[in-house]
Each structure stands twice: as structure tokens, then as C-alpha cells.
Structure 1
Amino acid sequence: MPDYGHDLMFSAGLVPAAARADEVVALAQLAERAGLDLVTVQDHPYQPAFLDTWTLLSFVAARTERIRLAGNVHPLPLRPPAMLAQAAASLDLLSHGRFELALGAGGFQDAIEAMGGPRRTPGEAVAALEEGIRIIRAAWDTGSPGGVHHRGEHYRVDGLKRGPRPAHDIGIWIGAYKPRMLRLTGRLADGWLPSLPYLKDVAALAEGNAVIDEAATEAGRSPSDVRRLLNLGEELPAEQLAELALVHGVSVFTLLSGDPRQIQRFAAETAPAVRELVAAARTGGQPREPQAPARLTGTGVWDEATRPTAPDPEPGRRYTPQEQAAGQHLVDVHDHLRAELAQLRDLVEQVAAGTIDAGAARSQIATMTMRQNNWTLGAYCESYCRLLTMHHTGEDTMLFPRLRRAEPGLTPVLDRLQEEHQAIHKIIERVDRTLVAFVGDPGGLDDLRAAVDLLTDALLSHLSYEEHELVPPLSRHGF
């Protein structure tokens, strides 16, 4: 099946365990800090060990600023569509357009009936879901005259007043596996959300896509109108996820995990690698336009609008895998720096949370692992900053002079990159100062966080700019 061309998104899928309520919220916040695009939460209202998902999502929305939110998935039989429309629009307004609506027909009939919900045959459940989607969309359509009137077999509204209107066009994603649900997805939905552990094999994605695409076309829609999402039951290699994106059109990958280390690794290592592989395949080796990372601070280190761009002396040229290797090496080095930066941020938050046992840490100091006590945090910060400085020094003294000689038109870009190196080094010095102060006075945690946030904003912006401008010249000239 084709690549539908959607931007890639990476997500954490959480279990709303009531016994670990604070931990679940902390994991959602970690997902945002790590740079994931979306956090989803299971919705099983009949499970007494779980928090109510709508309440949890609202709480998480108030505790985060950027990350998108969704249930995974809401069972329509226990969420009446008229009320669901108002709840979804309200959460979207309160979160400033960060909510998406994922729905299911209700797969646990005994549990649903035990809560007072209707018991439906599979066919009835699909028909009810279609009615529900139409009511929800009509309720959001505040531009149409009059109220909403729907007299179906499963839901009836008579003069329902429209509104409120969501802050953005909320996507309706459907958890579907069987042909009738897949055809409904193609006709009406904005996304298909299966779970890989529930599919018989990866080939089932191709089969599902074929049904959805045919139904979308018959309904006068484009198959690309339906985003393809996938819940992952375990960590998979970046190469396998890139194949799922390019061969089966998956553009949203949700890792179902409550392990903060897995979430951190998924964001810092897997997501960038998948994006690079997919971008290279889509452009024949040409770099994609850089995407500005979400800002953590309101402080601008430099004016990105004044950055010069490199001329392209060979428009339309495509590079062989051998030629691309030099540019990919730069990206690989940068990805290592991104991963290390994410680990540095995680260290600061672990110290802040007081989850580190200093006595146990002493026995591991010799290993220099990154999850011990304040001493190890200091040693790691020092080593990371030294690594970053060495990388920039190597570029300034060896790589950039070679590129200036090989391609003089790059000079304005190389000059700007060197200026940004100096600016980043000054921020590193600030991190050093705040770290020293923090070790002596734990009350300085806010200053340490602010310094690391500023380093994060500056470094991620710089790496993205450098890759976009230098990967093609490196493909032409090598190191």
C-alpha cells in the first residue's frame, strides 16, 4: 500500500491506573518534555482499578502545554454521543486545540452491560457508532442553522442545540479490525487506530488499508483523508517503523508503555531515526525542511529569520546511498547529542522528584551510569558539555574549512553556524554555573531547569538548521 504522506507523530500510550495516579500524570509530563507529539490513555470505565479517562485527560491537559491528548479508545456505548460531543469540544477549547477523539464500538459487552450500557450485536455496534459520529459532527457544526435532529435505531436527538465549537477540527479516529468497521472508517473517519498485538500479522495492515481505501473512494473521499495510526505493544527498531510508514502508510506510532526509560528512548532515539529514514525515502535523499522544535522558554537566543541558506548548485539532483552516507553521519552524530540531551533533562527531573537513593547510588558510582545521585548528575553534565564542545570545535576547525574551499557559496551559512556555536557555548557555561550552585544549594533547582531548557531550545534549533543546510553539501563533497 502507498505512503499516504502524512507527517509522522510519536506517542506514549498510558494505563490510567488509580493506584499510581500521580505516576501516570508524571509520565504524560515526561512524554511532553521528551518531545513526543501525543499522549493517549486507555478508556475502560468498567475497570474499577482505573481512573476515569475523561477526568484524567482534563487533569493532564492542565498540567501540560504542548502535547496532544486522546483516549485510546472511548467506548461509545458508555459515552452518549451528544454528551461526548460537548465533552470533546470543551476539552479541546480548554487545551487550546490539543484534543483528538478516538472511538470504539465497545468490545467488552458483559462489562458494558454490567455498567448499564446496551448489549449490542456486532452489526448493531457498528450501526450505532455510525449514528454517533454523525451526531457528534453535527453538534460541532455551529455554522449550520437550527438544531440537530437524528432519529436512528440506537440514538435519538430532537432539536439538540449545536455547540460549543472545538478550538480546531478534531480528528475522529476509530479502533477497527473487521470489514464493517473498516468500511465505516473509510466512509466517515479521520483516522484508523488498530493495535499491532491484536492484528494477526503485519499483512493485516495492508488488508485493512485496502478496505478503508475502497470505502473512502466510494464515498467520494481520498484514501489520504484517513490517517493511519498504530498502537505498538513493544519497542520496535526504527527501520521496522519506517517500513510501516512507507509500505503501510502508518504515520502515528503509539508505544504502550509505563516505563519512563522506554518513553524517553522512544522520543530521543527511535522517533528521530524514523523521521530521517522516512524523509530520505520520500525525497530521494534530499533533506526535509527543518521543523522548529516546540519552545521550552520564551527567551530567543538568536533570530532564526536572519539565518542564511545554502545555494543549491545542482537543482533536482538525487544522491546515491554512498553519497548520502556522509550527510547521514552528521545526522547520526546529532541524534546522539539529542539523545544525550534528553537523558540530561531526565536526570534533572529525577533529582527534582527525589526518586534517587543516594546510598544505593554510591555502590554504582564507578559505573558512571546516568541514574544515580547529584554527584553523578554533575559528572554527566560535565561530560556531556565537553562532548558537545568537542563536536563544535571539530566542525569549526576541520569540517567547515573544507566545505568553504569546496563550495564558497556556503560561507554565509558556515559563518552563522560558527556564531551559533559560540552562543551555545555561553549557554553551556551557564549550565555549569547553575549546576555548581545546585550541588551546594538544592534550592537552586529552578535556575538549573531554566538553564537546561535554554540549552535545549538553542541546541535543537541549531542542529536542525545545520542538518538542513549541510547534508546536501556533505553528500557532494564528503568529510
Structure 2
Amino acid sequence: METPERARLPILFGANVDPTADDPRWPLELTRAVEEAGLDLIGIQDHPYNAGFLETWTLIAALAQATQRVRFFPNVANLPLRPPLMLAKAAATLDLLSGGRIELGLGTGAFAEGIVAMGGPRRNAGEAVAALEEAVQLIRRFWSGESSLRFEGRYYSARGTRPGPRPAHAIGIWLGAYRPRMLRLTGRLADGWIPSSTYAPPEQLPAMQRQIDAAAQQAGRSPQAIRRIYNVMGLITAGGSGWERGVFRGGVRDWIAELTRLVREVGLDTFIYWPAEDRLRQIQRFAAEVVPGVRAALGAP
């Protein structure tokens, strides 16, 4: 059964590019391959406390200047280590420099010990969600063109700061969310939702979607305006190997059937591929075989 209330956003496809520091040329090589393959998006995870990772925003800046078309987003930005007004300015700056190719994935921060080790705050679950809600409000106001921004929250404040520059396009704020309070926040305030298949397998998505939709409707928003981005971890195998839905492992036809089902029956509209191995060739195969097959099955351009 299709979900027409969430079927109007364009279907997008992208890939993960890890910010690996052991060979700094590799993220650039993979990014160029993603652009050449015609995918829409590149997501880059943000874990600043990982000594083996490059800094995500600096990497996005470099990769954006080396490409012409593909769009970028942090998947997702670690809010406790990134003050929201500086995050808003960084995103707007990169959006201008890239010609409108930046979106903002945002989260509460996954690894408390790493955050605290880098001087960030230790927050419990309720505090983390409340801080994220304040941050979303501040970031939107910074991009709005207000001449002077004043805000007094429990976690963040602005005392007459002068926002600017404005981004080149309306940057989407996409939240990484799993628990009910975060899902409701997504429905009330966000432009997109980013779950990952390893934390939210397909069978859990419908119930989570309903929570987002209900919160959006209660806030007077249209659920169809919220993009649904799914980080899909798995592997495209040789044909006839069988489909393992829980780990997204199977042949091209299996991938086409499952992603098509997730659009029609679950209401997803964006897929970010995270290959389990052989990343360059897997992403090329995803773009060349899976993506056209899904678009054809959906009748999408």
C-alpha cells in the first residue's frame, strides 16, 4: 500500500564517505566517484573525538570545492561539541561557497565519554533533547535574516548577535532520532529525519513514522514536508544469493525490491548507502544498477 501523504518529495540517493585520516586522499577519491556516478547526496559522520577521523566540517569544505553537483550533509553533526550559532554560520558559509549544496544533519551526540573528554557537556537524555530543541530554534533564526538575535534558553543564548551571512538556499535541518521525545521533536520542528538501519531496522520504522506524523499534525505541519532519510548499511552480492533484510544483504533485484517497498509501504524517500566492504565498487554498483531500478519501479525521474 502506498503512502500518498509522504509520496511527494523527490526520491534521492546518496552514499556515505568516511572521514578517514589514515589516507586523506581516499575521501576525495570516493567523493569524486559518487559525483561521477550521479548520486544526489554525500553524508559524512561527525565524531571529533575519534583520532582516526578528519574534522567533518573542514572535510566537507574541501570536498565541496572539488565537486560541482553533489550535495553534502554531516550525518549527523555532534551538537554538544558545536555551538549552534557557529554551526549555523559554518553551514551558511559552506552553502554559499558550494552554490547551495549543504544540508544540516544534527544530533544530540552519541558517545558521552568522547564528548566529555573533548571538553563538552555531559547531558542526560532529557537535557540533550531540550538542548537540541533550543539549537534548532537558534539556527533557524540565524538563517532568517534578523538584524539582531536575542535568545535566552537553559543551554544556549544569543545577546544581540548580528546573524549572517544568509545561506544560498533554505538549508534543511535533518535530525538523527530514535526515541519518542526526539521523534516528536522531529515532527514539530525538523525538515528531515535520519535513522540508520543498524539502529532502526525496517520493521521498526512504521511505528516511528507514525510518531513523527502525529507530532507534525499536532503542530499544524504537513507530515509530507518532512524528508525521510535512511542510512542503509549492507552489501550488494552476486545474484541469487538470497535477501537478508535485517542486514540489507542480497542481489541487485533484492535491493531494488526492498528499497521500492520502503518507499511505497513505509514512506521513505532518501537512501544513503553504507557498504560493508569494497566501498568504491559497491557505491558504483549501487548507482549504476540499484538506483535506476528503484526509479523505474516507482516511475520516478
Identify whether the pair has TM-score above 0.5, normalized to the shorter chain. Answer: yes
In 2, the alpha carbon distance for the partners of 1:193 and 1:124 equals 20
Answering whether residue 42 of structure 2 is matched by residue 23 of structure 1, we say no
Quote the residue 1:226 is aligned against. 226
Q: How does 1:15-94 map to 2 (within 5 A)?
A: 15-94=18-97
Output one character per residue of 1:123-158: Cα deviation in whole Å (capped at 9) or x when no partner. Answer: 00000000001000000011x4x4111111100111
Quote the residue 2:297 is aligned against. 277
Output one character per residue of 1:228-280: Cα deviation in whole Å (capped at 9) or x when no partner. Answer: 0100111441110000011111111001136111010010000000011112x
Structure 1 stretches of 4+ with a deviation exceeding 6 A read none
2:113 alignment partner, one of 85, 95, 110 = 110
Q: How does 1:3-14 map to 2 (within 5 A)?
A: 3=4, 4-5=6-7, 6-14=9-17
Per-residue deviation at 1:188?
0.4
Quote the residue 1:139 is aligned against. 142
Quote the residue 2:190 is aligned against. 189
Q: Secondary structure at the match of 1:32?
A: helix
Q: What is the count of residue pairs matched by the alignment?
A: 278
Q: Secondary structure at the match of 1:210?
A: helix
Q: Secondary structure at the match of 2:234?
A: coil
Identity in percent? 49
Q: Secondary structure at the match of 1:204?
A: helix
Partner AA of 1:256 in structure 2: W
- Structure 1 unaligned spans of 5+: 280-287, 292-479
Partner AA of 1:248 in structure 2: V
Q: Secondary structure at the match of 1:40?
A: strand
Pick 1 or 2: higher relative contact order, CA cutoff 8 A, min separation 6. Answer: 2
Output one character per residue of 1:74-111: Cα deviation in whole Å (capped at 9) or x when no partner. Answer: 01001100100000000000000000000001121111
Output one character per residue of 1:318-362: Cα deviation in whole Å (capped at 9) or x when no partner. Answer: xxxxxxxxxxxxxxxxxxxxxxxxxxxxxxxxxxxxxxxxxxxxx
In 2, the alpha carbon distance for the partners of 1:261 and 1:277 equals 23
In 1, the alpha carbon distance for the partners of 2:265 and 2:179 equals 21
Q: Secondary structure at the match of 1:234?
A: strand
Quote the residue 1:255 is aligned against. 273
In 2, the alpha carbon distance for the partners of 1:231 and 1:31 equals 16
In 2, the alpha carbon distance for the partners of 1:239 and 1:266 equals 13
In 1, the alpha carbon distance for the partners of 2:125 and 2:298 equals 37
Q: Secondary structure at the match of 1:99?
A: coil
Per-residue deviation at 1:30?
0.2
Q: Secondary structure at the match of 2:39?
A: coil
More strand by share: 2
More helix by share: 1
Which structure: larger Rg? 1
Partner AA of 2:290 in structure 1: T
Per-residue deviation at 1:14?
1.6
Partner AA of 2:191 in structure 1: D
Q: Secondary structure at the match of 1:213?
A: helix
Output one character per residue of 1:399-429: Cα deviation in whole Å (capped at 9) or x when no partner. Answer: xxxxxxxxxxxxxxxxxxxxxxxxxxxxxxx
Q: TM-score, normalised by structure 1?
A: 0.57
Per-residue deviation at 1:160?
1.4
Q: How does 1:255-404 map to 2 (within 5 A)?
A: 255-257=273-275, 259-279=279-299, 291=301
Q: TM-score, normalised by structure 2?
A: 0.90
Per-residue deviation at 1:203?
2.1
Quote the residue 2:261 is aligned against. 243
Quote the residue 1:209 is aligned against. 209
In 1, the alpha carbon distance for the partners of 2:96 and 2:267 equals 30
In 2, the alpha carbon distance for the partners of 1:270 and 1:113 equals 41
In 1, the alpha carbon distance for the partners of 2:169 and 2:66 equals 20
Q: Secondary structure at the match of 2:80?
A: helix
Output one character per residue of 1:291-312: Cα deviation in whole Å (capped at 9) or x when no partner. Answer: 5xxxxxxxxxxxxxxxxxxxxx
Quote the residue 1:173 is aligned against. 174
Per-residue deviation at 1:168?
0.3
In 2, the alpha carbon distance for the partners of 1:127 and 1:204 equals 24
Quote the residue 1:149 is aligned against. 150
Per-residue deviation at 1:15?
1.2
In 2, the alpha carbon distance for the partners of 1:275 and 1:127 equals 39
Quote the residue 1:97 is aligned against. 100
Output one character per residue of 1:436-471: Cα deviation in whole Å (capped at 9) or x when no partner. Answer: xxxxxxxxxxxxxxxxxxxxxxxxxxxxxxxxxxxx
